[in-house]
Amino acid sequence: VRRLSLYLRGLEELEREGVRTVASEALAARAGTTAAQVRKDLSLFGSFGKRGLGYAVPPLQAQLRSILGLARPRRVALLGAGRIGAALFEYPPFRERGFRIVAIFDEDPEKIGRRWGGVAIRPVDELADTVRREEVEIAVLAIPAQAAQRMADMLAAAGIRGILNFAPVQIQVPETVVVNDVDMSVELEALTFALESAPADARASGTAG
């Protein structure tokens, strides 16, 4: 599934380079996978290519955006105005893909009331109201582990639909909420595992899973 997102990125690069049409082989190289994989993945959602030619870049881009649910902008709340929150708030790929951070929350009274690029940092007790008023669909959890479950409960109660969780803890949510975890120390440890267990035959790129 997340390969689709890599294909979309590859197509954006190709478009910037002025390429109009692309073969599965070339797209696979950009996404770090194989031509057969690209074709299988895409054919799962429809027939987008032309035999003998390849895929037309702009239409396939539009298709992928639609499949990935990026056809319309998404309203996002950021929880946690610390360093990770700051990094995510300014992260260009988010806004390029249509994610709009419309609300920021923090528990630190020092931070509450400040503004980041026109968005006020609010106290957590305004969460439910703000989520509803601003029609927030997605929350990004950039807070310490011990606060994560509490915030997840409030978000679920406020009717959020998805959570991108950067907190290094497993959160429990009702079935109505989709969670995706991004765990940076797990990723770093996957790397040391690969270093430890394959110091000789270490194969490149993405093998650290």
Give me the residues that bind DNA (CB under 7 A), please.
22-25, 33-37, 39-40, 42-43, 47-55
**Encoded amino acid at 108, one letter:** D
Which one of the spans 14-22, 34-42, 126-134, 173-181 is the region binding its own copies (CB under 8 A)?
173-181
CA atoms of 156 and 136, how far apart (whole Å): 12
Identity of the residue, 9 or 126, whose beta carbon is nearer to its own copies in the bound complex: 9
Q: How far is the CB of 35 from DNA (least distance, A)?
A: 6
- Give the helix ranges, DSSP H, for the chain: 2-16, 24-31, 35-43, 57-67, 83-89, 92-96, 127-133, 145-158, 184-197
Q: Of its own copies, DNA, none, which one does residue 167 interact with (CB within 5 to 8 Å by kind)?
A: none
Is 148 an interacting residue with respect to its own copies (CB under 8 A)? no
CA atoms of 159 and 164, how far apart (whole Å): 15
CA atoms of 155 and 78, how far apart (whole Å): 11
Is 53 an interacting residue with respect to its own copies (CB under 8 A)? no
Match 């194969």 to its residue by tokens: 203
Site string for its own copies, 7-36 (x = CB under 8 A): -xx--------------------xxx----
Identity of the residue, 157 or 193, whose beta carbon is nearer to its own copies in the bound complex: 193
User: In this structure, are residues 57 and 14 in contact, taking their beta carbons and an 8 Å threshold?
Assistant: yes
Q: How far is the CB of 43 from DNA (least distance, A)?
A: 4
Strands 162-165, 138-141: pairing is parallel
Is 161 an interacting residue with respect to its own copies (CB under 8 A)? yes
For 63, phi then psi, to 5°, come to -60, -50
Among positions 36, 50, 157, 207, the unique one binding its own copies when judged by CB under 8 A: 207
User: Beta-carbon neighbour count of residue 183 at 10 Å?
Assistant: 15
Is 143 an interacting residue with respect to its own copies (CB under 8 A)? no
Identity of the residue, 34 or 180, whose beta carbon is nearer to DNA in the bound complex: 34
Is 42 an interacting residue with respect to its own copies (CB under 8 A)? no
How many residues form the binding site for its own copies (CB under 8 A)? 76
CA atoms of 132 and 140, how far apart (whole Å): 16
Under rule CB under 8 A, which residues in 107-126 are in contact with its own copies? none
